[in-house]
Structure 1
Amino acid sequence: MAPTSPSQSRPPRHPLNSSACRPRLWSASLLLVGALMAGCSDGSDEAAESQSQEGGQATEVEAVTVKMQDVPITSELPGRISAYQIAEVRPQVGGIIESRDFTEGSEVEEGQVLYHIDARTYRADVASAKASLARAEASLNTSNLQAKRFKTLVARNLVSQQDYDDAVATVGEDRADVASAKADVSSAQINLDYTTVTSPISGRIGKSSVTKGALVTASQDTSLVTVQQLDPIYVDMTQSASETLKLKRELSKNGKAAAAPDKAKVELLMDKDDPYQYQGELQFTDISVDEGTGMVTLRALFPNPDTMLLPGMFVTARMVEAVAHDAILLPQKAVSHNDDGDATTMVINAEGKVESRVVKIDRAMGNQWLVTDGLSAGEQVITSGLQKIKAGAPVRVAKDDATENDATADAGQPGEEQ
């Protein structure tokens, strides 16, 4: 029997046991496991997305609770400062200025002497008028005595009745002459007094237009100096007549709004929105409209103890024109607009789901909107996370800014209208 070779005595190898096939086997196994995991992952993601869309998972948002409150409706109006009182001092008599008795730019009191005018001719006029008065009084005394004597004589028929009547008439004429002479004395004295020019009011005095030695005339067109009272001080504001009518129509339509009182408070904004430290008070609204500009003038009175406000300055005045009762304020970030241009908000309904709501907006109040329709007290309006939600989706409130819609929340600009 022929010997067998080692290769012939060994049994043939199975292909699966071959080392060359092992990498293929592992690759196939990995592909199979990966496909199974991918299938499970896709199924779970789709299920999670489906579950979220069906309302199973709530999205976290921030909201504000709606509440009713009284909201002051204000307007910012341009204004100009004007003095409380202005006196342009002019001479009442003519003459040479002998002296100027004040410091320009200083504070003066009512009755304080400002100028002296040469008074020599006016003193002479007073003396002449007094002499005329004395002569008239002497004539009156003589005629009185004569009338008394004629009265006795006419009773005895020693003089005629005509002579007596003439004597009485003379007394009347002399009395008239005395009265006229007294008036001349008063007039001359007034002119003499006018040679001392005094301040008619208390306030800040300006630049003098004359110096010592200047010739002035009575009631000349050019004033000698101007005195202005600066404390208190006026702020004259202007508002278009159309805005005034619009506000009145809104007040007549809205039963929950009321006009501000006649003595409404007014605030001033200086440069860069810097508020003036004192509040003013509305004095009156002009009853006529400027034909050229169509504007109505409103005047407010402000304290000015530090004379920070000077005549001619331009300022911005913030004034409460009305008060909206039971009004709603919403943060501006909580309001958007749909394709039709309507203002909308996202409200959380009783089921905890998002509901799109169309609201009516009246005006901007600082960083908030004044809402007049579409919301009720106690409802929650979403203010943050709006990009992650849609109508019908469940939400969970993480933060409720219950005081954000308070009318006093924006203390820097209370009720500012834009």
Structure 2
Amino acid sequence: MIKAMHSFIPFLASVFALQLCTTTAYAAQEQQQPATSVSMIEVKKQTIDITETLPARISSPRQAEVRPQVNGIVMKRLFKEGAFVEQGDQLFQIDPATYEASLAMAKAEVKSAEATVKSLKSKVQRYKQLVKTRNVSVQEYDDVVLELDQAVAQVAVAQTQVDIAELNLGYTKVYAPISGQIGRSLITEGALVTASQTQPLALITQLDPVNVDMQKSGFQLYEFRRQLQNNDVAVDIHYGEDYTETYPLQGKLAFFDVNIDQTTGSVALRAEVENPDSVLLPGMYVQAEVHTGKKDVFLVPQRASTRSPDG
């Protein structure tokens, strides 16, 4: 037994020595590792813009079809296709010959009616004296007075025909009803046009300013209107491929419909934006970034946040 104990003591001493060496090695390794640095970020309250991006489409606030108001042959086209025209610019000339003749005839009718009036006035004066001497009857005198009244009325009718003839003659000159960009001519010189035709002669579109038409879900209408209340709402326009281009001029919300579309469940909004260089064209699809207001928030940098497996 004593012999066995003498053989176990050296083994136990070896184990203690090995454990002491391992503990010392771990302690040295821990002393070599630097402490983990931790940075601190002060979170401050900031005011940010609240925006909402909506699909939109450009439209013109004014568009007019140029139409003939009289029949005739188009003699001249007086504008350059695609050019800007001012309201009142002459665009076409229709052959005026027939209308000049009608005006001359109407003026002649006025002169004839006025001559009749002059003659009847003299006759009335003569009959007035003859009635006193009983050389004509009262009935004859009354008949002449009636003829004079009818002749005066005929002068008025003839003058109305002059006015109509002058109006029709004026219609042979076709003017621009509004200012804007005029498209291609839909008729050629030498073509016969009529006042009742369905095809316009040309189309004029106002391009400055333009409308930005948007649709907003009716489910979010209350909150959206609350955000817009008492705010002058600015609208940024993004266009081009993938809407990467930002239009340099900012628009303003000009219209908010009070009715929700029963088919789509959406409400119509409209902004107005200046378009001096005609960058935005009617029919163009854009994105409208509506600035609905401002809000005070605490912003945390992205590097200071982590995402767990649960999101």
> When the two structures are superposed, what TM-score results if normalisation uses the length of structure 2?
0.81
Name the residue aligned to 1:267. Answer: 236
Name which of structure 1's ranges 238-247 and 161-170 shifts more when overlaid on structure 2.
Answer: 161-170
Name the residue aligned to 2:24. Answer: 37
Change (3 A) 1:161 1:310: same
Name the residue aligned to 1:398. Answer: none
Structure 1 counterpart of 2:109, from 117, 120, 132:
132
Name the residue aligned to 1:222. Answer: 199
Partner SS, residue 73 of structure 1: strand
Letter in 2 for 1:170: E
Identity of aligned residues (%): 38
Partner SS, residue 180 of structure 1: helix
**How many angstroms apart in 1 are the aligned matches of 2:71 and 2:224?**
55
Provide the aligned length of Structure 1 versus Structure 2.
293
Name the residue aligned to 1:300. Answer: 271
**C-alpha contact (below 8 Å) 2:43/2:298 kept by paired residues:** no
Partner SS, residue 162 of structure 2: helix
Identify unmatched segments of 5+ residues in structure 1.
1-23, 46-56, 252-256, 334-382, 388-418
Q: After superposition, what is the alpha-carbon deviation per residue over 1:313-340, rounded to whole angstroms, capped at 9, x for unaligned?
A: 111111223444xx3243474xxxxxxx
Structure 1 counterpart of 2:43, from 51, 65, 72:
65
Name the residue aligned to 1:111. Answer: 88
Shift of 1:108: 1.8
Name the residue aligned to 2:6. Answer: none
Name which of structure 1's ranges 287-296 and 235-244 shifts more when overlaid on structure 2.
Answer: 287-296
Name the residue aligned to 1:200. Answer: 177
Name the residue aligned to 1:356. Answer: none
Which protein is richer in helix relative to its size?
2
Partner SS, residue 268 of structure 1: strand
Shift of 1:206: 0.6
Matched, 1:141 2:111: no
Letter in 1 for 2:278: T
Partner SS, residue 286 of structure 1: strand
Q: After superposition, what is the alpha-carbon deviation per residue over 1:212-232, rounded to whole angstroms, capped at 9, x for unaligned?
A: 111111131111111112112
Structure 2 counterpart of 1:312, from 262, 268, 283:
283
**How many angstroms apart in 1 are the aligned matches of 2:19 and 2:52?**
74
Identify unmatched segments of 5+ residues in structure 2.
1-10
**C-alpha contact (below 8 Å) 1:90/1:219 kept by paired residues:** no
**C-alpha contact (below 8 Å) 1:61/1:385 kept by paired residues:** no
**How many angstroms apart in 1 are the aligned matches of 2:284 and 2:19?**
85
Shift of 1:94: 1.2
Shift of 1:292: 2.6
Greater C-alpha radius of gyration: 1
Change (3 A) 1:150 1:311: same
**C-alpha contact (below 8 Å) 1:74/1:322 kept by paired residues:** yes
Name which of structure 1's ranges 102-111 and 162-171 shifts more when overlaid on structure 2.
Answer: 162-171
Change (3 A) 1:80 1:128: same
**How many angstroms apart in 2 are the aligned matches of 1:208 and 1:385?**
63
Q: After superposition, what is the alpha-carbon deviation per residue over 1:140-161, rounded to whole angstroms, capped at 9, x for unaligned?
A: 2222333344445556666544
Shift of 1:264: 2.2
Q: After superposition, what is the alpha-carbon deviation per residue over 1:196-246, rounded to whole angstroms, capped at 9, x for unaligned?
A: 112122221111111111111113111111111211222222212222234
Shift of 1:64: 3.9
> When the two structures are superposed, what TM-score results if normalisation uses the length of structure 1?
0.62
Partner SS, residue 84 of structure 1: coil
**C-alpha contact (below 8 Å) 1:233/1:302 kept by paired residues:** yes
Q: After superposition, what is the alpha-carbon deviation per residue over 1:50-77, rounded to whole angstroms, capped at 9, x for unaligned?
A: xxxxxxx9972433424264x5432211
Q: After superposition, what is the alpha-carbon deviation per residue over 1:10-31, rounded to whole angstroms, capped at 9, x for unaligned?
A: xxxxxxxxxxxxxx9x977852
**How many angstroms apart in 2 are the aligned matches of 1:171 and 1:103?**
55
Partner SS, residue 63 of structure 1: coil
Which protein is richer in strand relative to its size?
1
**C-alpha contact (below 8 Å) 2:45/2:299 kept by paired residues:** no
**C-alpha contact (below 8 Å) 1:91/1:216 kept by paired residues:** yes
**C-alpha contact (below 8 Å) 2:55/2:286 kept by paired residues:** yes
**C-alpha contact (below 8 Å) 1:94/1:217 kept by paired residues:** yes
**How many angstroms apart in 2 are the aligned matches of 1:163 and 1:229?**
67
**C-alpha contact (below 8 Å) 1:116/1:195 kept by paired residues:** yes
Partner SS, residue 62 of structure 1: coil
Partner SS, residue 260 of structure 2: coil
Give the alignment's Cα RMSD to 1 decimal.
3.3
Shift of 1:269: 1.0
**How many angstroms apart in 1 are the aligned matches of 2:111 and 2:286?**
63
Structure 2 counterpart of 1:330, from 268, 280, 299:
299
Shift of 1:308: 0.8
**How many angstroms apart in 2 are the aligned matches of 1:122 and 1:39?**
115
**C-alpha contact (below 8 Å) 2:55/2:215 kept by paired residues:** yes
Letter in 2 for 1:65: V
Q: After superposition, what is the alpha-carbon deviation per residue over 1:250-269, rounded to whole angstroms, capped at 9, x for unaligned?
A: x3xxxxx66243x5221111
**How many angstroms apart in 2 are the aligned matches of 1:75 and 1:152?**
92
Matched, 1:281 2:201: no
Letter in 2 for 1:89: V
